[in-house]
């Protein structure tokens, strides 16, 4: 029997980039094939070709041994290929039923929508594949994980046999991700076939039947998850040896750089988000703030960096109060900020790399003289930082918006860390990035700490916090409920603290602490 899907010699050339270079891929019925690769490796391009959004320059697509051409997503759906996008294609104010039927609405007498019929079919699909969902719920009321199920139901409703999951766990909590994996297994058990696109090694090892690694547009190897080893896979992905554990020495902290006392910050609805928080960050120390997102970390960071007004309390930077000072003043005192939402806050996407690299310093010598920008200097600076920070961009004049997420983050890191700073506030610095970029950014942050910079690291990724921090503060409902030496705390304890449960006595980890980053 022919494999359900075969790609032969798919090649796609974009101006200046060979996105796919003679890629061969075989998907057998009832298996989960993981497509592993860094951001920008060409995974998404390949899947967009399969989904009819791009036309390949060369190569052919075979479904069940028959050659087909796919010009549009409609063709793809007709061929039984469906895609769960990273960003859901759902209409929030519609119900689950309405969203599912959208595009192929069944009608009954007199051209009325036949909702009950669709709802019944949804229930049937839902019970068959263990996709729990109520057809009458509004999508906007559903948690992200359930919304994703609706996306999957949409495909099954259209009788897709080949399901493509594009980075499905990027938006999920760890628990939701585990649920998804159960669903995926149940799908293949009942005869569906899945291509699973990801750059997270652990997920691949957990769920895939077969692993295919893509690097720079070409297939670099296959692996069996039962035998593969994480370091080996990471190496294949990145193309060199990857050190998954950050090496850092124990360092004696220096003077207090940032001190916060009884700080109260509210959100735009006047709700208290940061509730009498106090802590200190010393020179040469990384203070990690752990906590589930939405517990006041965002507001705390914004208050420190001047982007949000505080209600009361004090914030002192090098002994000087910066409470409610404008962002530029705080920046000029020697602080740097890697913002949580890099595209919304940290970058101007339609601007070239060079301009983004001077976004906080453009008005100073040597980048401007008087009011006149010195583009020669700005470009020189850009060339240098692109080199130093390994930003992969065709040129300094390329718009930042056309770079991959990792490279966008590197632009911010380059801009912020290339200045002489004494405080670094890094908020979720590796969100959504691939292995290579995460490794690189972690290294840079530790390097800054070693140079004597005080670092405030905020991340919902517990592993990241544990691995990088010298001290860890756990934030829960606007309060810091524990402040611990990183060396003295076990991961499980932190997990409980993040959920708001304070153990009777904080347990010490047994033996030597070994923490690996979970990518």
Partner 1 sequence: MGKKDLEKQDIGKTILEELTGGEPKEKRQKRGIWKILQIPALAILTGLIIGAVLIMATSFDVYDAFKVSLWKGLGTAFAEVGEAYLALITGSLGNPVEIVQALLYGDALDFRNAINPILESLVQSTPYIFAGLACALGFRAGLFNIGVEGQLFIGAAAATFVGYSLTGLPPYIHMPLAFLAGALGGALWGMVPGLLKATTGGHEVINCIMMNYIAYRFTTFLLTGPMSRPGTGGMPVSPIIEKSAQIPQFFKTPIRFHLGFFIALAFAALVWWVLFKTTLGLNLRTVGTNPRAAKYAGMNIIATTIIGMAASGALAGMAGANEVLAVNRSMAIGLSAGYGFDSIALALLGNSHPVGVIFAALLFGVLKNGATKMMVVSTIPIDIVTILQAVILIFVAAPAIIRSVYRLKQPKVEAAAIMLSGWGGVK
Residues that bind partner 1 (CB under 8 A): 14-16, 305-307, 326-329, 331-332, 337, 339, 344-352, 355, 359-360, 362-363, 368, 371-373, 375-376, 379-380, 383, 394-399, 402
Q: What would the DSSP string read from start to end of 203-239? A: HHHHH-SEEEEEETTEEEEEE-TTT--HHHHHHHHHT
Nearer to partner 1 by Cβ, of 19 and 465: the residue is 19
Nearer to partner 1 by Cβ, of 272 and 307: the residue is 307
- State the nearest-atom distance from the C-beta of 361 to partner 1, in Å: 9
Nearer to partner 1 by Cβ, of 26 and 374: the residue is 374
Rounded to whole angstroms, the Cα distance separating 276 from 313 reads 7
Q: Going by DSSP bridges, is the β-strand pair 32-36/193-198 parallel, antiparallel, or unpaired?
A: parallel
Nearer to partner 1 by Cβ, of 52 and 339: the residue is 339
Element (H, E) at 58: strand 58-63
- State the nearest-atom distance from the C-beta of 407 to partner 1, in Å: 14
Structure token digits, residue 514: 């070994």
Element (H, E) at 417: helix 405-417
Nearer to partner 1 by Cβ, of 348 and 501: the residue is 348
- State the nearest-atom distance from the C-beta of 500 to partner 1, in Å: 31
- State the nearest-atom distance from the C-beta of 426 to partner 1, in Å: 14
Burial classification of residue 65, based on how many CB atoms lie within 10 Å of its CB (0-12 exposed, 13-18 middle, 19 or more buried): exposed
Residues 1-28 as b/e (b if ≥16 CB within 10 A, e otherwise) read eebbbbbeebbbeeeeeebbbebebbbe
- State the nearest-atom distance from the C-beta of 465 to partner 1, in Å: 23
Nearer to partner 1 by Cβ, of 313 and 339: the residue is 339
Q: 138: left (phi > 0), else alpha (psi -120 to 50), else beta?
A: beta
Nearest to 412 by CA among 462, 344, 477: 344
Structure token digits, residue 311: 């209600």
- State the nearest-atom distance from the C-beta of 260 to partner 1, in Å: 20
Residues 100-126 as b/e (b if ≥16 CB within 10 A, e otherwise) read bbeeeeeeeeeeeeebeebbebbeebb
- State the nearest-atom distance from the C-beta of 363 to partner 1, in Å: 5
- State the nearest-atom distance from the C-beta of 447 to partner 1, in Å: 24
Rounded to whole angstroms, the Cα distance separating 496 from 227 reads 33
Q: Is the peptide bond before 366 cis (omega within 30 degrees of 0)?
A: yes
Nearest to 82 by CA among 181, 184, 185, 159: 159
- State the nearest-atom distance from the C-beta of 336 to partner 1, in Å: 11
Nearer to partner 1 by Cβ, of 17 and 123: the residue is 17
Nearer to partner 1 by Cβ, of 360 and 490: the residue is 360
Nearer to partner 1 by Cβ, of 257 and 400: the residue is 400
């Amino acid at each position: 029997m022919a494999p359900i899907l075969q790609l032969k010699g798919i090649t796609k050339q974009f101006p200046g980039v060979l996105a796919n270079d003679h890629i061969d891929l075989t998907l057998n019925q009832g298996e989960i094939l993981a497509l592993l690769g860094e951001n920008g490796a060409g995974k998404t391009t390949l899947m967009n070709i399969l989904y009819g959004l791009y036309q390949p320059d060369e190569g052919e697509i075979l479904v069940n041994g028959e050659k087909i051409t796919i010009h549009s997503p409609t063709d793809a759906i007709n061929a039984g290929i469906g895609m769960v996008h990273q960003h859901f294609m759902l209409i929030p104010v519609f119900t689950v039923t309405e969203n599912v039927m959208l595009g192929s609405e069944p009608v009954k007498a007199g051209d009325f929508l036949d909702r009950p019929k669709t709802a019944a079919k949804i229930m049937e699909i839902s019970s068959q594949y263990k996709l729990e969902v109520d057809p009458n719920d509004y999508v906007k009321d559903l948690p992200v994980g359930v919304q994703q199920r609706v996306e999957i139901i949409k495909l099954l409703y259209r009788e897709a046999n080949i399901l493509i999951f594009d980075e499905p766990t990027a938006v999920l909590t760890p628990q939701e991700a585990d649920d998804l994996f159960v669903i995926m297994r149940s799908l293949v058990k009942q005869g569906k076939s899945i291509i699973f696109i990801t750059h997270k090694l652990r997920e691949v090892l957990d769920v895939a039947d077969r692993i295919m690694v893509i690097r720079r547009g070409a297939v670099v190897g296959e692996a069996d998850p039962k035998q593969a080893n994480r370091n080996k896979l990471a190496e294949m992905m990145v193309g060199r040896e990857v050190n998954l554990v950050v090496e850092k020495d124990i360092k004696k902290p220096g003077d207090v750089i940032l001190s916060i006392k009884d700080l109260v910050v509210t959100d735009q609805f006047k709700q208290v988000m940061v509730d009498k928080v106090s802590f200190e960050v010393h020179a040469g120390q990384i203070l990690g703030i752990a906590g589930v997102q939405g517990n006041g970390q965002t507001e705390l960071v914004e208050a420190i960096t001047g982007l949000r007004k505080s209600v009361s309390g004090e914030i002192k930077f090098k002994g000087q109060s910066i409470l409610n000072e404008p962002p530029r003043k705080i920046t000029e005192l020697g602080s740097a900020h890697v913002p949580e939402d890099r595209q919304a806050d940290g970058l101007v996407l339609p601007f070239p790399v060079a301009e983004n690299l001077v976004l906080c310093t453009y008005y100073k010598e040597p980048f401007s003289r008087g009011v006149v920008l010195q583009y020669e200097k700005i470009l020189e600076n850009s060339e240098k930082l692109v080199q130093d920070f390994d930003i992969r961009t065709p040129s300094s004049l390329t718009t930042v918006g056309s770079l991959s997420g990792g490279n966008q983050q590197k632009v911010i890191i380059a801009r912020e860390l290339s200045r002489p700073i004494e405080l670094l506030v890094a908020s979720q610095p590796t969100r959504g990035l691939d292995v290579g970029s995460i490794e690189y950014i972690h290294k840079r942050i530790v390097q800054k700490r070693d140079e004597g910079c005080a670092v405030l690291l905020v991340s919902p990724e517990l592993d990241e916090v544990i691995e990088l921090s010298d001290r860890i503060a756990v934030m829960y409902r606007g309060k810091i409920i524990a402040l611990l030496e990183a060396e003295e705390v076990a991961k499980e304890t932190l997990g409980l603290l993040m959920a708001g449960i304070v153990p009777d006595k904080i347990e010490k980890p047994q033996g030597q602490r070994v923490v690996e980053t979970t990518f």
